Amino acid sequence: MIFLRSALYMTFLVVTIIPYAVCCVLWAPLPLTWRYRLTLGWPALALWGARWILGIRYQARGTEHLPDGPAIILSKHQSAWETLYFAVKLPRDVVFVYKKELHHVPFFGWSLALLSMIPVNRAKGREAFEQVVRIGSQRLQEGRWPVLFPEGTRVAPGEIGRYKQGGTMLACKTGVPVIPVAHNAGERWPRNAFIKTPGLVTVSYGPPLDPANYNSVTLNNAVRDWIEAEMRVLNPERYADAKPSGGQRASSHS
């Protein structure tokens, strides 16, 4: 049954992304705000399909921490699910940092290239961080929220990657607060896995971290510490050092 649901969902994604990508090309002359809203229809559709085809439900904690103003989202990265979720559910238009090579992916990459996000050349090393700061500053001035995954790549549940400083460098440069985010989407949607399982994903937003109180290194450490501590609340069975917790009440769900 789970295999059939996963196969049906994959078919659903393929069948819907192609016409959406064609439409993205057709409405390319429109203003960016219009293009963004129209393009957002596909991740909303994909998130809906994950709910009703795969049975992946979700809830959010700490949404009161999302400010009515500029913010930089620094999140745990376990799957593709959270990219759909953030695009659809965050209260501002978002921009993702991603490798520029994605623009060459048929249909998906073509649509992505039209949204003025933050593509970087990861092979450039230090220059890639400078691209994040330079382009990210522009996007913040446009009223959009940068979403970055400090670990750089998807990590399996219970694992921790090396947290990179691109997001905290951007925060310290612009003075914009950071919202750390923990979630357990990888429990339902594993990295590079065809099989996806039904169940509940919890997304937990942490309190804003003011870059005025840190430098790039210490802010990065604070982000890592909050996220990894919260991961032990969400899935203590994944961590030998986790302490029992009564958990928190979810502020929203679907």
Cα 179 off chain centre by: 12
Segment holding 172, helix H or strand E: helix 166-174
Residue reference for tokens 């593709």: 80
Cα separation, 115 vs 84, whole angstroms: 15
Q: What is the pLDDT of residue 49?
A: 97
Average pLDDT score over residue span 165-183: 96
Residue 202's pLDDT band (cuts 50, 70, 90): very high
| Tokens standing for residue 226 | 């909050």
Average pLDDT score over residue span 200-214: 98
Q: What is the pLDDT of residue 241?
A: 82
Q: What is the layout of strands, in order, in the sheet containing 94-99? A: 118-120, 94-99, 145-148, 72-75, 178-183, 199-205, 56-61, 252-253
Cα separation, 41 vs 36, whole angstroms: 9
Cα 71 off chain centre by: 14
CATH class of 2-253: alpha beta
pTM of the model: 0.91
Q: Which residue has the higher pLDDT, 240 or 137?
A: 137
Read off the DSSP letter of residue 164.
Answer: P
Q: What is the pLDDT of residue 177?
A: 98
Average pLDDT score over residue span 220-248: 86
* Residues 150-162: tens digit of each pLDDT: 998 899 999 999 9
Return the bridge partners of 201, or none. Answer: 58
Q: Which residues contact 92 (CB under 8 A, 6 or more apart)?
A: 71, 143, 144, 145
Residue 188's pLDDT band (cuts 50, 70, 90): very high
Q: Which residues contact 147 (CB under 8 A, 6 or more apart)?
A: 73, 75, 86, 90, 94, 95, 96, 97
Question: Nearest-CA neighbor of 149 among 174, 116, 111, 185?
Answer: 185
> Taking a C-beta distance cutoff of 8 angstroms, is the pair 187, 157 a contact?
yes
* Residues 81-132: tens digit of each pLDDT: 999 999 999 999 999 988 888 887 877 777 788 888 988 876 666 777 888 8
3-state SS, residue 216? helix
Segment holding 82, helix H or strand E: helix 81-89
